Amino acid sequence: MLIEACVDSVQSAIAAEKGGAARVELCTALLEGGLTPSAGAIARARAKISIGLHVIIRPRGGDFLYEEPEHEVMLEDIATAKSLGVDGVVIGALAADATVDVARTRELLEKARPMSVTYHRAFDMTRDPIAALETLVELGIDRILTSGQDESAVAGLDLLAELVKVAAERIVIMPAGNIHEKNIEKIAATTRAKELHVTGFVEEDSGMTFRNPRVYMGGLLRPPEYARSVTDARAIGALVERVGGNRD
């Protein structure tokens, strides 16, 4: 069982490796579902960890229907990630009818090679997951990150198990979505997936000694200004231990 940890900082990438994760997916803006991290974050993560490093390529939040300038940004971000020595990228693009955007996905895939390529949870927004899986197999995508088109891996468990069966080792199905210590064994046993995508976050209070409670730097959705979620090595270690995860 390979455990991939979703992280949003260099510090969390280091903690994930310490906890036993085999690979990290580096993102930023997790409240948006994960966006492309900065070149600086990618470079320092690559310098600090020796496990697999995948980087999400997603220019904005919202849907996965991209205009040409956004597609061009993704191509540039892939080139940057490749130049910084990452092992893989995580991509996704849909057509307006909620099918895989074949032309743009193919172009992103070709730009990424020889890096590993994961199709992210845009898959969970497709109208027909089995058809989408077959399209991604034909394109040559390496793996699909999915919650089984539901709010969590547990809620989408039946579809996840079906996807693993249909994939038949032609493509990796990597379950994701609120996987934690109490459900990881059930998810692993039911789906028979070979890779799992986890977080292992804990809340860490800010070190600021003076705090202004009247100012907030974001929009209407307001997470705590003086606390943040960070990856906890012990939490990752507990998940790895539960399913006998390793770095092979």
What's the CATH number where 167 sits? 3.20.20.380
Residue 98: its pLDDT value, please?
96
In a domain, 195, yes or no: yes
Higher pLDDT, 225 or 118: 118
Residue with tokens 């993560």: 45
Residue with tokens 């109490």: 182
- Residue whose C-alpha is closest to residue 93's, from 115, 114, 78: 78
CA torsion 160-163-168-174 (nearest 10°) is -50
Higher pLDDT, 72 or 226: 72
Averaged over 113-124, what is the pLDDT?
A: 98
Averaged over 212-234, what is the pLDDT?
A: 73
Which phi and psi (to 5°) does residue 30 adopt? -65, -20
Q: 145: burial class by Cβ within 10 Å (0-12, 13-18, 19+)? A: buried
In a domain, 235, yes or no: yes
CA atoms within 13 A on the CB side of 174: 24
Contact status, residue 197 vs residue 4, Cβ threshold 8 Å: yes
Contact status, residue 146 vs residue 156, Cβ threshold 8 Å: yes
The residues, any chain, with a CB within 8 Å of residue 40's CB and separated by 6 or more, are none
One-letter amino acid identity for 172? V
With residues binned 3-state (H G I as helix, E B as strand, rest as coil), the percentages for the chain, rounded to 5, are: 40, 20, 40
In a domain, 136, yes or no: yes
Residue 229: its pLDDT value, please?
76
Is the model's pLDDT at 218 over the cut of 80? no
Q: Is this prediction's pTM over 0.85?
A: yes
Range of the domain at 36: 2-243
In a domain, 141, yes or no: yes
Least confident span in 10-24, 71-85, 150-164, 233-247: 233-247
Rg (CA), the chain: 18
| Structural domains in the chain (count) | 1
Confidence band, pLDDT 50/70/90 cuts, at residue 226: low
The CA distances from residue 58 to 21, 119, 147, 154, in Å, are: 23, 11, 18, 25
In a domain, 248, yes or no: no
Is the model's pLDDT at 248 over the cut of 50? no
- The two tokens of residue 24 are 């990290």
Residue 86: its pLDDT value, please?
98
Contact status, residue 233 vs residue 11, Cβ threshold 8 Å: no
Averaged over 82-105, what is the pLDDT?
A: 98
